[in-house]
Structure 1
Amino acid sequence: MRQTFVDTTTALLDEDPRTALVLADISADVFAPAIRRHPERAFNVGIREGLMVGVGGGLALTGLRPFLHSYAPFLLDRAYEQIKLDLGHQDAGAVLVSIGASYDAAAEGYTHQSPGDVALLDTLEGWTVHVPGHRDEVPPMLRAAARHDDRVYVRLSVQENARAHPDGGRLRVITQGGPDGGRPGGHARRGPLVVAVGPMLDPVLEATRGMDVTVAYTNTPRPWDTEGLRALAGSEVVVVEPYLAGTSARPVAEALGGVPHRALHLGVGHAEVRRYGNWRDHAREHGLDEAGLRRSIGAFLGYAD
């Protein structure tokens, strides 16, 4: 996904005189040719993430469309105040593109982990959040974001699904379950719904193999697809996200207001995993691997493993 972002943004800089790029040292080497070609619109401000956002906000106010990029904890956690003020308060638009996700850079320690990035943006208004599940979903997101002036966050990850679903902006049904989830003694109603966000789709599909559930996919959890959720949801809804567990609890509850349901929100736990390892080790620790998801979803829906 990272290379796809570099290739697409470099092409946008060449094609569109409105596109700008601001870096804070991360990925400066791969963007060096683009910076040399477009010194008036492409900048590396050094290890100054707050300045990166401030410069981006200033460029936006002049009519340019800035792309800002770094590891998620540097881009979101560290520069949160500037995002709040220099973009939100000024009503300026930018495209924030992160790498590292929740724990892709696990070997670098907790400084490079950001499971709470989307939750942070939820405290601010007007943000579209894209969480691509495959590298081929990234270019359409970036090109669409270049054509307007809203605030957009694109969360790239190392983990990805086996195939792309470029139409995943709204809830897209991947597997269709039967009424009542196929459980004996039930009444005619919609069966359980499991929503997978971005790269969680493949683990969810494997974890629910043999369960009579509907699995839906989205790569754009903000704004939440309220209409799609209400159309698909039965009395049991499971949301699996690759960031902090419960991040989407509020929009899901609001979307299903007045609809009796039980909800389970799975994601990265609040407890810090202090052993380094790699992203697969951390997924397993947080119960986001196939086995962990099967245990959690199966127990919630009453399936015996």
Structure 2
Amino acid sequence: MRNAFAREMENQAKNNENIVLLSGDIGNRLFDSYKKRFPQRFYNCGVAEANMTSMAAGMAMSGLQPVTYTIAPFNTSRCYEQIKIDICYHNLPVVVVGVGAGLSYAGLGATHHSFEDISILRILPGMHVVCPADAIEVKLCLQEALKLKKPVYIRMGKKNEPLIHDSPPKFEIGKAITIRQGKDICLLGCGNILPVVCEAADKLEKSGIHAMVVSMHTIKPLDTELLEKVFSTFSMVCTIEEHSLIGGFGSAVAEWVVDNSMIQTNLLRFGIKDAFLHKTGNQENARKITGLTSENIVASILKKLG
């Protein structure tokens, strides 16, 4: 995902001289090619993410299109007030990119875990929250975010995420992408957990359950047309995210379900429970600890189905 983002940033900057990239002291080698071509449009802001966010807001007020980039918790919770007041209050065209969201940096401990970023940013008026599932969606997501010219948060994984798409799909912020059709249940996956969702669908099919799989890359605004369809069609809908169960993607869907009287459909939410992760290890191990594995997802669904 990181490499796809860097390549697309360079492509976009080539065609739009107003694009500026600000980094929070990471990605120095990642952006070598960008810096070589556009040395006047790259700023390493150091470990000063709040300042970086305010700089981006000032640039946006001056007619530029800034993109801020650093590790997810440092580009969200650390500079939350600046995102709220400097960017969203003025409805500025700033794209905030958080890399390594969820459990991507599991081995570095709680400082680098990002379980709350969706919840704190989706509450801000004017903010768009987008969670691409693979490198192809990252590229398309950045293109659309820059066209939108509104506050956008892009929540990315770290690296080596498998491709979900064989070719670029039609991508629109606020419109989900159906990965596969199914007739029994629907699995709504959010962001870089989607490969696990596809694995779960494969395992369910071996048990005779055909699951529809959807990439819900946009958390705000939700694709309500898609939600109306699946909650009117299936007896069970599951949300799966590498984020806290409180306030995240599943919460957003649950709120929509209640507001639209769709409670006749079983909603099963998978995410991180209300607890810090004190053990360290790689992302795969952290997913096992938090229950975000295809095996656990399948077992929970089968148990619920009886």
TM range (shorter): 0.7 to 0.9
Identify the match of residue 277 of structure 2 among 273, 278, 292: 273
Q: Which amino acid aligns with 2:136?
A: D
1:144-187, Cα deviation, whole Å (9 max, x unpaired): 22223111111111363443263365233333333xx3xxxxxx
Counterpart of 2:131 in structure 1 is 131
Q: Deviations over 1:51-92 (max 9, x none)?
A: 000000000001110000000010001011110111012222
* Corresponding position of 1:199: 192
Q: Which whole-Å CA distance do the structure 2 matches of 1:24 and 1:172 have between them? A: 31
Of residues 163, 182, 193, the one that matches 1:177 is 182
Output aligned runs, 1:15-54, within 5 Å: 15-35=15-35, 37-54=37-54
Given that residues 161 and 201 in structure 1 are in contact (C-alpha distance below 8 angstroms), is that contact kept between their aligned partners in structure 2?
no
Aligned positions of 1:86-101 closer than 5 A: 86-101=86-101
In structure 2, C-alpha distance between the alignment counterparts of 1:264 and 1:166, rounded to whole Å: 27
Gaps of 5+ in 2: none
Q: With structure 1 as the length reference, what TM-score do the two structures score? A: 0.87
List aligned pairs for 1:239-258, cutoff 5 A: 239-246=239-246, 247-256=248-257, 257-258=260-261
Distance 1:201 1:34, change over 3 A: closer
Q: Structure 1's 236 and 59: CA in aligned 2 closer, same or farther, altered over 3 A?
A: same
Q: Does 1:83 align with 2:87?
A: no
> What is the CA–CA distance in structure 1 between the aligned matches of 2:109 and 2:72, rounded to whole Å?
13
**Structure 1: 5+ residue stretches without partners:** 182-191
The number of equivalent residue pairs is 290
Against the structure 1 CA distance between its residues 37 and 282, is the aligned structure 2 distance closer, same or farther, given a 3 Å change threshold?
same
Q: Report the Cα distance in structure 2 between the residues aligned to 1:249 and 1:107, rounded to whole angstroms.
A: 25
Instruction: Give the CA deviation at 1:127.
Output: 1.9
SS state of the match for residue 170, structure 2?
coil
Higher helix content, 1 or 2? 2
Match of 1:102 in 2: 102
2:241–2:250 Cα contact (<8 Å) kept: no
Pairwise CA RMSD: 2.0
Q: Does the aligned pair in 2 maintain the 1:194–1:239 contact within 8 Å?
A: yes
Match of 1:91, SS state, is: coil
Measured after TM superposition, the shift of residue 238 of structure 1 is 1.1
- Residue identity opposite 2:104 in structure 1: D
How far off is 1:227 after superposition? Answer: 1.0
CA distance in 2, matches of 1:92, 1:294: 42
What's the CA shift for 1:39?
4.4
Tell me the residue number matched to 1:69: 69
TM-score by length of 2: 0.87
Question: Are the counterparts in 2 of residues 230 and 255 from structure 1 also a CA contact under 8 Å?
Answer: no
The aligned counterpart of 2:121 is 121
